[in-house]
Amino acid sequence: MTDYPRRALVASPTPPAQAARAELADAWDWVPVEDADLVVALGGDGFMLQTLHMLLERRKPIVPVFGMNLGTVGFMMNEWRQHGLEERIRRAKAFKVTPLAMTATGIDGRVHSLPAINEVSLLRETRQTAKLEVTVNDRVVLEELSCDGILVATPAGSTAYNLSAHGPILPLGSAMIALTPISAFRPRRWRGAILPDRARVKLRILDAAKRPVSAVADQREIRDVACVEVCMDRARELTLLFDPEHALDDRISMEQFVV
């Protein structure tokens, strides 16, 4: 049990989330996000990602987030209920989520650094197949991967885009990351790799001018990249709070049995 005396309330601009925000307006003396010990987020998974990215950019130390689902899937959210919020927060189980750090160098030489909570993905920009050199811990493991793209996913993000690309589901405490190709052409039988989360992945675009590739860190895109480096950013760990009966680690594990 942890007390959070100063709490901030944020909500998606959708009508259901705004209506829920109005219902909770008098439930607590809410403070601005920058003054809070805890953030209550109302919306869907997309809004949760936005909230977490906002905290990564604005807060140090980064405060915990208790989300309630007023979106579609709500994989990273708790059930929306107006009543009993105080007790739910008191009983909530904390889960640590470590984001990725992406450093993307464009063909123009500019360097962009962005965090990613779910995944970093590289995607071809035109009809031309992307050709990538894949390096892990300074060792070239694939000299040329012909594909539509490739992604590096965290355990928290392994059930998102990674799963749609037929990548593995990683339990939260696995200390692993997934390296998953997107529509690989050659080597045709390569299905990806599971790497220790201390691995450093470097993706160099071959013939970047002719075969342009974009890099996406969750929802933020950098176009026309020449090289992308990805590693875990342990200095910016995030905390999500869940009702004990709807814990994130259990949700991720149970996704393996969804048919």
Q: What is the H or E stretch that residue 66 is in?
A: strand 65-69
Contact 245, 218 (CB under 8 A): no
Q: Check whether 119 is labelled as a binding-site residue.
A: yes
Residue 213 near residue 225, CB atoms below 8 Å: yes
Q: Binding residue per annotation — 109?
A: no
Question: Which is nearest to 9 in space by CA: 29, 19, 1, 239?
Answer: 29
Closest CA to 97 of 136, 69, 67, 72: 67
Report the C-alpha gap between 198 and 176 in whole angstroms: 8
* 71 labelled binding-site residue: no
Best CA proximity match to 131, nearest among 78, 230, 210: 210
**Cα–Cα–Cα angle for 197, 199, 200, rounded to 5 degrees:** 130
Q: Is 161 annotated as a binding residue?
A: yes
> C-alpha angle 78/161/173, rounded to 5°?
60
37 is an active site residue: no
- The answer to the question of whether 235 is labelled as a binding residue is no
* 25 belongs to an annotated ligand binding site: no
- Out of 45, 218, 233, 243, pick the active-site residue: 45
Q: Is 207 annotated as a binding residue?
A: no
Residue 25 neighbours by CB distance under 10 Å? 10
Residue 159 marked as a ligand binder: yes
Annotated catalytic residues are 45
Residues annotated in a binding site for NAD(+): 45-46, 118-119, 148, 156, 159-164
Residues annotated in a binding site: 45-46, 118-119, 148, 156, 159-164
